[in-house]
Structure 1
Amino acid sequence: MLKSSTVIALLFLAFLHVSPVLALDTSQGKLTLSKMASGLDEPWGFGFLPDGSVLITEKGGTLWRLVDGDRHLVDGMAEVAEQGQGGLLDVMIPRDFQASREVFFTYSKWQPDGSGTAVGVARLSEDGRRLDGWTEIFELTPGSSGGRHFGSRIVEAPDGTLFVTIGERGDRPSAQDLSRENGSVIRINRDGSIPVDNPFVDDPAARPAIWSYGHRNPQGAGLDLDGNLWVSEHGARGGDEVNAVRKGANYGWPVISYGRHYSGAKIGEGTAKDGMAQPEFYWDPSIAPSGLMVYSGALWPEWEGDIFVGSLKFDYIARLGGDPLAEEEQLQSGETERVRDIREAPDGSIWFLSVGRGALYRMSPG
């Protein structure tokens, strides 16, 4: 009997319907780039359904389902606060989707005197055309305003809990304030309750959902091959980081940083301080990282365990590997314009969203 993962991969391959192909030169030779969807308006996140179709979010609040080269709207999305960098953001399809039909989303929502990052869940109808039973399971503690630094990726942990990345909302000191979730990675259960083993559940002065803090604006997140969480986050002028996220760790923003303020002024106290974690890698100048994936090696074994991060600023996909971690390759073409999200498909191909092209692409062997 075929394993369920094999069946999903076969369904996925049968589903593929591609437009004319392009080529991309890489360390693994010339790869094929296929445009899977076009005409997207500020696409932000996407996820693969077991039947081979794909859900795609647009920042303005639209959810699309891509089916055999065509796409249709999915109704039932909650109202979002489209403001600056905020709106409908990430989408995550859990491992038990075939049984639960649940889909999770991050988005910005209006709050008293401002807006904040929120998490919602709904069930996708059998025909894939509507969301039912929308439930909000988390929202950022109110008190933030403006349109910057919402985060916001959502990742299903190996134990079924949810990691969500949240930016400091442009309020730098809040990233060191445990009484607020700004500038943190949170961990919640699927119903929004708090796992009993979170690091600050017994601290009455802390928000119990916080898993790590001292982050600036993490817009990429993914699990490595051992199930550990990694995030990529925006620095200011320089100092974009890739961090291996540890329970209860403080990643230093804005006390330490490898960048400078946009004015050129020094940030905080320098690049290191006792009790604050160091990045595994940082970029200077900034590349504006968004989207992070750790590759399984399914189609390209030489890339097994490597980290792929999209650049919104320099229009390429960074491949990082080695110990210590280093940027080993830049995958770049006209199609890698402002890469917002990047994911591995069930068949081992690599897909990415280009904001600049308003398109979703698939990378496969040449």
Structure 2
Amino acid sequence: MIRKTLFAIGLLTTTLLASTACSAQPAAGKPFKETVVVDLDSPWAMTFLPDGRALVTEKDGRMLMVFIASKDRTSSVTATMPVAGIPKIDSGGQGALMDVVLAPGFASNKLVYFSGSITGEGGKGVALWRGKLVEDSRGPRLDGVEELFRARPFVEGNGHYSGRIAFSPDGKYLFFTNGERQKFTPAQDPKMTLGKVLRLTLDGKPAPGNPLVSKGFEPEIWSYGHRNLLGIAFDKAGNLWEQEMGPKGGDEVNLIKPGLNYGWPNASNGSNYDGTDIPDHKPGDGYEPPKVFWNPVISPGGLMIYSGAMFPQWKGDAFIGGLSSKSLVRVHLNGTNAAKGDQWDMGARIREVEQGPDGAIWLLEDGGDSQGRLLKLTAK
């Protein structure tokens, strides 16, 4: 790949990239072809616009509009433009500009929801915003950005923010993940949103009918007892799936149901990093067990449930990015059950998995504090 950078001042700074045919490589032993589309700077999440362009977030607080040209299942990036209007992000440690998801009805309302880690009273935490995507002579930007929600409380530290977003199939509600910030016990505390899956209105308010209000929980809480929730998605039947990082072992895929306690830090199929034991999930312990767990870990990143036609054999299955495992992981979903499928070595930390408009599978390499690539996987 040949990269040419045009330096300019202001919002219209644009990076032009020319790709060559050699960027597409059949992967030995893999049922897909990998194409390196573009190099990015520690990307975190992406979503496709209706016209095939993409919005990509980067760790340091940038959002990019990525212009993608596709032909005969190959793709190249013709330009990237920064999207203005993003609030100041605290990107220390695991902090980042995080998820980005188009609103229900985006074709008419142009609203974009996104999340990130910020500094505030008490320390740091994850926040949720919404803005309107505007494109004119000034370049792409999010106008009228408003903070809809922030985790409670803010605490010291740089880990386990989570910050993943999913909309209910009817488009009425927003599900938002809050990690337990490496503090363990907040996941069981009914007066904190940390270590929880939240159900909100599209304006960021507590959704009516949340299941734990009568038991004294904060009104946003949908489920609790979670650790670091880095993927959440609905399947075609309306089931809500979530994956989270366990401690030393015990990475999980969970079927999220209203009002249930998923156990952390009282139950886990892993152990603490200092070697002390955590009781495993077992029948009758009062905690909802995972549908699938890994020991040793895969370090799960993004979660996508596949619905495309390019890989019909995987329709309805979940795909997970593996960070420390440097892998792409497939989980077979069958109704409300799940089982381990394939795990392909990708040679790099995979932060995000996304389905493209043509049914291709797109990956973002994590990159850590350095470059990470955008990859396109197509059928051989």
TM value normalised by structure 1: 0.90
Query: Alpha-carbon deviation of 1:62?
Result: 0.4
1:333 equivalenced with 2:346 (yes/no) = yes
Unaligned runs of 5+ in 2: 1-17, 69-76
Are the counterparts in 2 of residues 153 and 221 from structure 1 also a CA contact under 8 Å?
A: yes
Residue 112 (structure 1) aligned with residue 121 (structure 2): yes
Runs of 4+ in 1 over 4 A off after TM superposition: none
Instruction: Quote the residue 1:180 is aligned against.
Output: 192
What secondary structure sits across from 2:64 in the alignment?
Answer: strand
Q: Identify which of 75, 79, 82 aligns with 2:88.
A: 79
Specify which of 195, 201, 207 is matched with residue 195 of structure 1.
Answer: 207
Name the one with the larger strand percent.
2
1:326-359: CA deviation from partner (whole Å, max 9, x where unpaired): 322112233xx11001011121111110123511
Give the C-alpha shift of residue 238 in structure 1: 0.2
Amino acid at match of 2:156: S
Question: For residues 44 and 275 of structure 1, do their structure 2 counterparts lie closer, same or farther at Cα, with a shift above 3 Å needed?
Answer: same
Amino acid at match of 2:343: Q
Q: Give 1:359's aligned residue.
A: 373
Aligned ranges 1:286-325 → 2 under 5 Å: 286-321=297-332, 325=338
2:62 equivalent in structure 1: 62
Alignment of 1:154-165 (within 5 A): 154-160=165-171, 161-165=173-177
Question: Aligned partner of 1:94: which letter?
Answer: A
* Contact kept in structure 1, 2:318 and 2:333, CA below 8 Å: no
Decide which of 142, 157, 162 is 1:131's aligned counterpart.
Answer: 142
**Match of 1:170?**
182
Q: Which stretch shifts more, 190-199 or 256-265?
A: 190-199
- Find the partner of 1:22 among 17, 20, 25: 25
Greater displacement, 194-203 / 96-105:
194-203
Amino acid across the alignment from 1:23: P
Is the Cα–Cα contact under 8 Å of residues 24 and 331 in structure 1 kept in the other structure? no
Q: Classify the secondary structure of the residue corresponding to 2:185.
A: helix
Q: TM-score, normalised by structure 2?
A: 0.86
1:322 Cα shift?
A: 5.7
The amino acid of 2:111's aligned partner reads E
SS of the residue corresponding to residue 266 of structure 1 reads coil
Deviation at 1:94, TM superposition (A): 2.2
Q: CA deviation at 1:87?
A: 2.2
State whether residues 25 and 331 of structure 1, in contact with CA within 8 Å, keep that contact through their aligned partners in structure 2: no
For the aligned residue pairs, the C-alpha RMSD in angstroms reads 1.7
Letter in 1 for 2:190: L
1:96: Cα distance to partner? 1.1
CA 1:18–1:278: 2 relative to 1, 3 Å = farther
Deviation of the 1:25 alpha carbon: 4.3
Seen in structure 2, the aligned counterparts of structure 1 residues 304 and 133 have a Cα distance that, compared at 3 Å, is same
Deviation at 1:89, TM superposition (A): 0.7
2 CA distance for matches of 1:191 and 1:152? Answer: 16
Deviation at 1:26, TM superposition (A): 5.5
Aligned residue number for residue 14 of structure 1: none
- TM-superposed CA distance for 1:80, in Å, is 1.4
Q: Which amino acid aligns with 1:325?
A: A
Contact 2:317 2:330 in 1 (8 A): yes
Deviation per CA, 1:114-156, whole angstroms, max 9, x where unpaired? 0111100001103461110010000011242100100121011
Please give the secondary structure, in 1, of the residue aligned with 2:140: coil
Answer whether contact 1:92 1:154 (CA < 8 A) is retained: yes
Q: Structure 1 residues 141 and 281 mapped into 2: Cα distance closer, same or farther (>3 Å)?
A: same
What is the distance in 2 between the residues matched to 1:36 and 1:209? 39
Aligned length: 343
Q: Which residue of 2 aligns with 1:32?
A: 33
Residues 311, 317 of structure 1: 8 Å contact kept: yes
Is 1:241 aligned to residue 244 of structure 2? Answer: no
Distance 1:173 1:95 in 2: 34
Cα displacement string for residues 283-310 of structure 1 (whole angstroms, at most 9, x for unaligned residues): 0011110111111141111111111111
Quick check: 314-323 or 179-188, which moved more?
314-323
Equivalent position to 2:280, from 267, 270, 275: 270
Match of 1:4 in 2: none
Cα offset for 1:18? 5.8
Distance 2:203 2:309 in 1: 33
Residue 218 of structure 2, aligned match among 207, 211, 224:
207
Q: Which residue of 2 aligns with 1:11?
A: none
CA distance in 1, matches of 2:352, 2:152: 26
Residue number in structure 1 paired with 2:41: 41
* Native 8 Å contact 2:328 2:346 kept in 1: no
The residue number in structure 2 matching 1:7 is: none
